[in-house]
Structure formats: structure tokens, C-alpha cells
Amino acid sequence: MSNKIRNGLTRRSMLQASIAGAGAAWAGISFGPKAFADEEAKVNFYNWDTYIGETTLGDFENLTGVEANMSLFADNDELFAKLREGNPGFDVIVPSDTYVARMLAADMLEPLDYSLIPNTKNLNPLFTDAAYDPGRKHSVTYMWGTMGLGVRKSATDGITSWKDVFESDKYAGRIAILSESTAMIGMASMYLGTGMNPTSQADIDAAVDLLIKQKPAFKAIAEDNGQDLLASGEVDVTIEWSGDIGQVMLEDDDIDYVIPKEGSLIWADNLCIPKGAPHPMNAHKFINYILDAQAGALIADYIQYATPNQAARALLNDSYNKNPSVFPPDEVLAKCEWQIYQGEEISRMKDEAWTRFLAA
């Protein structure tokens, strides 16, 4: 989930033109009453790949005079490990739901000052609280979505079940899975009927044993680039985040997104300020900018993830708002499960089990 510029994005370019007057609107954004003059004009953003608008960082810098630098991580495990031993200089990070809870348990996040983030008024009320961060004291939702299958329609025959990925040789050598350990264990566990959040060593081992048995069928364990492998024809099926598949669907009519009948993962990524952030005032300013309606619309349209920003959605057309790969039907979402942070002991069990899969 880099600021990787894609070619031929006519519809997105049209949206940028349609909001050509946004610079004037952004210039009027209130960033709260506190002064920023005593802080270096810089913000360091640690983000997923392909998970920001095409011009967001430059627009923010042009508006505020604050230099926005972005570094990339491949998955939540890398993000957590990078910050566990101390913040190397990041101001804003993008952990997923369970990792917000895990970071809170490890005292790795700063509380937010909502007086500096007035654009939270743009968020759908459904995202103003969360079980993984009660009262939303340390996080605001950036994007949400599902995990499912990106498929090349001409090379597959209507995949409807995880069985075709986890227990079949039908697409052997043409499948990519994600390197996101907890999600992969959860997905295999869900297919086995024990749910997205296995609680016992036996259930975790059963899920990993399934993955090990099927490992010869996997062409790649992708670090968040399964959509590129699918687009290039290197694989015909990939487990990926919904928005990453949505991005390549815009450019290739032969690609589709499927949530199997057994259900899948629903998730939310969040904007947080890590402990030891060197530019906390600019971090709040950056988060507030991301939540602006026009800025949020450009981000959502470019990355094709579901935005929680209802003011941004109002600026986007039906090709986004009624796209089932972005906003699945209620009956499909009803089969999806949230991951839950289950404590460090179960996290350790999953990490060890995933290491066993990688070594197999």
C-alpha cells in the first residue's frame, strides 16, 4: 500500500482538473490555535507502498511550506519491528487496526490533540471510535477495505472459494500470496472454519500446515506487490488488499476482485503519531490535511481504497462510490471478520509458525 506514479490515468487526471480550485479551499484550512513557528518545517511519513495521492505530498508542501518526506514499509510486521526499539525519526505512521492495539500495549503511540485536527468533522461517525483504540485517543482512520483475490478473468473460471488457493492444484504456479503473516494465518484459519483469530497453538499450526502443504502452488510470497505481478501476467491469482486490485482494475478490464464465499478480512489503516516524533505539530498539521475533503478525494480516487471521509466521498462519482471492489455489498461484508489483537503470546506463536512456513 510509494508514491508510484501510474501512466494513463485519464479519469484521475480529470478529477484533479475538476478540483482545480482546491488550492484556494485548502489555503483556508484551520490547523488549530497552536503555533508551529518553533518547529523545523518538516514531516516524516512512514507509509505503505502505493498508498498516497499522486500529488499529495507536493500539494501539502506547497500549501504549508512544510517539507513532506515519505519512507515505505512492506507490512505491519516491518513497521512494528522498525519502531519497537525506538523511533528513528518518523512523525506519522500508518498501522492497521490490530497493530494500533499492539503498539498501544507497547506504549509506542502519542495521544492526538484533536484541537489541531478539526477536519475530523469530515469522518463518517462509524469511524469515530474503535475497539482497538477506545475513544480514538491515538488514531484516526485513513482508509478501510477488505482482503480478497485479484484474478485474471480470462485465465480463471470464476473462483468462488478459498479452496482454489489453499487446497487445489488448479492454479499451481500461478498464485501469489501476501507476506502479511497474521493475515495469511487468519485467512487459512478462516477457510478451515476456526475463524480469522485462532486462539490455540493447534489451530495456528493447522492453518500453517495447510499453507506449507500448498506452498509448491505459490509462485510468490509478495511484499505488497501482488497487484503488479497480476497486471504483468506473472500470476493469475493473488491474495491482495482490495484497493491495490482496484488500482489495476482501472487499467485492465481482464482483472477482477473477488471475496470468496467463506468470507475474508475487513480492516482499517490508521494515521498515528509514534512516540518520539521529532515534529509533532507538523504531524498534526499533516493528518488534518489528509482529512480535508478535497485532499481526501484526490487520495481516494488515486489509490482506490475505501475512504472513511464522507466529505471526500461526496466529491467522487459513482465509478468510485458504487464500485463493489471498493465498497462491497452488505451481504458480502457480513461474512468478513476483523482481526483482533490477542496479546503478545499469541503474536509470538503466529510469528514462530510463519517462520516455519517460510523455512519449509
Radius of gyration of the chain (CA): 20
Is 339 within any annotated ligand binding site? yes
Q: Could you give the 3-state DSSP secondary structure of residue 244?
A: helix
Q: Could you give the 3-state DSSP secondary structure of residue 233?
A: coil
* SS3 track for 91-158: CEECCEHHHHHHHHHCCCECCCCHHHCHHHHHECHHHCCCCCCHHHCCCEEEEEEEEEEEEEHHHCCC
Instruction: Give the integer Cα–Cα distance in Å for 118 and 287.
Output: 10
Residue 157's contacts (CB-CB under 8 Å, 6 or more residues apart) are none
107 φ/ψ sector (left φ>0, alpha ψ -120 to 50, else beta): left
Nearest to 30 by CA among 123, 101, 120: 120
Instruction: Give the integer Cα–Cα distance in Å for 341 and 274.
Output: 18
Q: Locate all alpha helices (DSSP H) within the chain, ordered by sequence.
A: 10-18, 22-27, 56-64, 76-84, 97-105, 163-166, 181-191, 201-214, 226-232, 242-249, 280-290, 293-303, 310-313, 318-321, 330-333, 344-359
Take residue 210 and report the three cell numbers written for it.
495447510
Torsion angles phi and psi, residue 271, rounded to 5? -95, 125
Nearest to 146 by CA among 73, 240, 287: 240
Instruction: Give the integer Cα–Cα distance in Å for 61 and 313.
Output: 24
Q: Per the annotation, where are the binding residues? A: 339
Q: Per the annotation, where are the binding residues for spermidine? A: 339
